[in-house]
């Protein structure tokens, strides 16, 4: 495996001094790291300790270790120091950004001025409020058995870097020390992810959870369509997970190594929709200071997910139809035609058939998009999936917030199952995040739920009590009227038939407004004059 330095900033390494001998401080740091690695313990914690020593003894800030997926070559951030990655999933495709480039080529990279480096993506957002011009960035491959198993990276205050090549050499030495540990950690993560996938039944994604019949049908449709380039239209109410389904179809498709571009059509003003989707030339309109690629061009050889496609303007619908028909379009202000190879997955929470009938959506576009429809069920129709999802969100946010919350009480489960969930899965996730924040013990209780759920429960209980009261009153009235009918309206006799007192019968007759005269026997008719 080559160890040549590849630097996008053309650092002058020819003038550097001999770096084959480490300084006393560097040797001390390597010794401290070696001692961490020989101690028994959990690998994730050991690697965190390595990054802390790099910060303490070598001045390396915001250190990160990414693992490489053996199948796809994708790098995912696993351990970090000085960077909060709780609840985040940070990944880099091969060749994507500095980390993806190092993972793909197996060559170290050094950036003397991070503010001038376009390849740096800052996926974690840890440096968005910092002056990047004051930072240097170092990134080296972690090689085990002649294969890149991970990537080690860190930034350092630029003015503290006297010799960038020497800094890289130290980082390479650290990478060599931790190579076996990272290799083992990657194997552990592969096994964990495999077990996790098997535990999700036939779910095509870790993000999609469900064992209900309706979700199994959805998973089956996704599996059938994923291997093709067929256009998919996902129908579902807000919060049902339409975007997650689109992501999962892409990740399980032959285009998985290509770009995935997500577009929320509802979030774009009508005046900017065409520019966003199809790009524009410099000077195409006021404010178009430079040429810009559109989202379709960015998605070439990959997948574009058009969420809330029903919100597109008539002009944008016409251009989208042309892309579907001819796989080409013209950017705004351009005479050139752009050819694209893009799979389209659209999603909507609108009833597009009604929109077509009302003239709000093009008929020809609807039938082009609706080649393979997938209908996502409402959360209230998914039965026990509600509890599965709630457990998942509790685990997710307990881990992200560092809290010992482990379970949901039976009373909470009862409320979750009884609630209507107008906001669907998104509303459930928000409720569970709030509950974990409020929970001080290991169990989510009803007091931790949002007032809307508790109020709904109280109202439901009051409605149930009201129904019971009506039923009891009706039953009471029927029994009393039957006794009075048999007793000929005589309340004393009716009390004996019911096994109660005359006073109780009189009270109930008055309370229920019963007229006892209706039960008295009719008086015998008076004799006629002829009979007297």
Lay out the sheet containing 303-307: strands in order across: 260-264, 303-307, 343-348, 232-235, 372-375
| pLDDT of the residue at 529 | 46
d(CA 146, CA 438): 49
pLDDT at 421 over 70: yes
In CATH, which of 3.30.450.80, 3.40.190.10, 3.30.2290.10, 3.40.50.300 is domain 218-262+291-377?
3.40.50.300
Percent of the chain clearing pLDDT 70 (strictly above): 85
| pLDDT of the residue at 399 | 92
**Rounded average pLDDT over 203-225:** 83
| pLDDT of the residue at 7 | 47
Query: Can 13-193 and 454-519 be said to share one CATH topology?
Result: no
Domain 13-193, CATH class in plain words: alpha beta
pLDDT at 20 over 60: no
Q: Are 155 and 64 in contact (CB under 8 A)?
A: no
pLDDT at 18 over 60: no
- To the nearest whole number, what is the mean pLDDT of the chain? 81
Residue 340's SS3 state is coil
Give the E-state strand segments of 114-178 in sequence order: 135-144, 147-157
Q: Which fold has domain 383-449?
A: Helicase, Ruva Protein; domain 3 (1.10.8)
Q: Which fold has domain 454-519?
A: Arc Repressor Mutant, subunit A (1.10.10)
Per residue in 319-346, pLDDT (tens digit) is: 888 888 888 887 777 778 888 899 999 9
Per residue in 48-101, pLDDT (tens digit) is: 889 988 888 888 888 899 999 876 788 888 888 888 777 677 888 888 888 899
Per residue in 218-258, pLDDT (tens digit) is: 998 998 899 899 999 999 999 999 999 999 999 999 999 99
d(CA 365, CA 127): 43
For the chain, the structural domain boundaries read 13-193, 218-262+291-377, 383-449, 454-519
**Rounded average pLDDT over 394-401:** 93
**Rounded average pLDDT over 449-457:** 74
d(CA 333, CA 283): 8
pLDDT tier at 199 (50, 70, 90 boundaries)?
A: very low
Query: Which residue did the predictor score with more confidence, 418 or 286?
Result: 418
Distance of CA 443 to the CA centre of its chain: 23
pTM above 0.85, yes or no: no
Percent of the chain clearing pLDDT 90 (strictly above): 27
Residue 189's SS3 state is helix
d(CA 353, CA 262): 24
pLDDT at 456 over 60: no
| pLDDT of the residue at 11 | 38
Distance of CA 71 to the CA centre of its chain: 24
Packed helices 502-512 and 491-498: angle between N→C axes, nearest 10 degrees? 110
| 49: its two tokens | 């300790």
Per residue in 97-140, pLDDT (tens digit) is: 888 999 999 999 888 888 777 778 777 777 777 888 888 888 99
pLDDT at 492 over 60: yes
**Phi, psi for residue 60 in degrees, rounded to 5:** -80, 120
């Amino acid at each position: 495996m080559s160890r040549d330095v590849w630097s996008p900033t053309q650092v002058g390494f020819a003038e550097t001094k001999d770096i084959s001998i480490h300084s006393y401080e560097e040797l001390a740091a390597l010794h401290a790291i070696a001692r961490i690695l020989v101690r028994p313990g959990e690998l994730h914690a050991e690697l965190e300790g390595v990054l802390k020593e790099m910060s303490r003894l070598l001045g390396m800030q915001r250190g990160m270790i990414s693992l490489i997926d053996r199948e796809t070559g994708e790098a995912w951030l696993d351990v970090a120091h000085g960077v909060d990655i709780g609840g985040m999933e940070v990944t880099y495709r091969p060749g994507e950004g500095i980390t993806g480039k190092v993972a793909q080529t197996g060559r170290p990279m050094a950036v003397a001025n991070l503010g001038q480096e376009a390849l740096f993506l800052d996926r974690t957002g840890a440096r968005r409020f910092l002056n990047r011009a004051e930072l240097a960035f170092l990134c080296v491959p972690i090689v085990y058995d002649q294969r890149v198993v991970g990537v080690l990276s860190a930034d350092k205050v630029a003015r503290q870097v006297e010799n960038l090549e020497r800094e890289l050499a130290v980082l390479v030495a650290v990478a060599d020390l931790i190579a076996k540990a990272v290799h083992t950690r990657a194997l552990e993560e592969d096994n964990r992810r495999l077990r996790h996938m098997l535990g999700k039944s036939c779910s095509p994604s870790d993000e999609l959870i469900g064992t209900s019949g309706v979700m199994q049908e959805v998973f089956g449709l996704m599996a059938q369509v994923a291997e093709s380039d067929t256009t998919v239209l996902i129908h579902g109410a807000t919060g049902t997970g339409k975007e997650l389904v689109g992501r999962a179809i892409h990740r399980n498709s032959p285009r998985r190594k290509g770009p995935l571009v997500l577009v929320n059509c509802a979030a774009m003003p009508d005046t900017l929709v065409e520019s966003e989707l199809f790009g524009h030339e410099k000077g195409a309109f006021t404010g178009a200071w430079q040429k810009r690629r559109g989202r379709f061009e960015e998605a070439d050889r990959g997948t574009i997910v058009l969420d809330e496609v029903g919100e597109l303007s008539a002009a944008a619908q016409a251009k989208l139809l042309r892309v579907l028909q001819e796989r080409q379009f013209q950017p705004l202000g351009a005479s050139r035609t752009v050819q694209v190879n893009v799979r389209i997955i659209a999603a909507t929470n609108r009833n597009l058939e009604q929109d077509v009938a009302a003239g709000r959506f093009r008929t020809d576009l609807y039938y082009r998009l609706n080649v393979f429809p997938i209908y996502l069920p409402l959360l209230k129709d998914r039965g026990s999936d509600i509890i599965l999802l709630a457990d998942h969100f509790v685990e997710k946010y307990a881990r992200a917030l560092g809290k010992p919350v482990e379970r949901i009480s039976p009373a909470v489960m009862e409320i979750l199952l009884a609630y209507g969930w107008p906001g669907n899965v998104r509303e459930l996730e928000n409720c569970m995040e709030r509950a974990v924040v409020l929970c001080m013990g290991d169990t989510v209780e009803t007091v931790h739920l949002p007032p809307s759920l508790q109020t709904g429960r109280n109202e439901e209980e009051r409605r149930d009590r009201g129904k019971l009261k009506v039923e009891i009153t009706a039953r009471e009235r029927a029994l009393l009227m039957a006794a009075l009918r048999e007793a000929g309206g005589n309340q004393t006799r009716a009390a004996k038939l019911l096994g109660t007192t005359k006073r109780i019968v009189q009270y109930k007759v008055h309370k229920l407004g019963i007229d006892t005269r209706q039960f008295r026997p009719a008086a015998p008719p008076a004799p006629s004059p002829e009979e007297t």
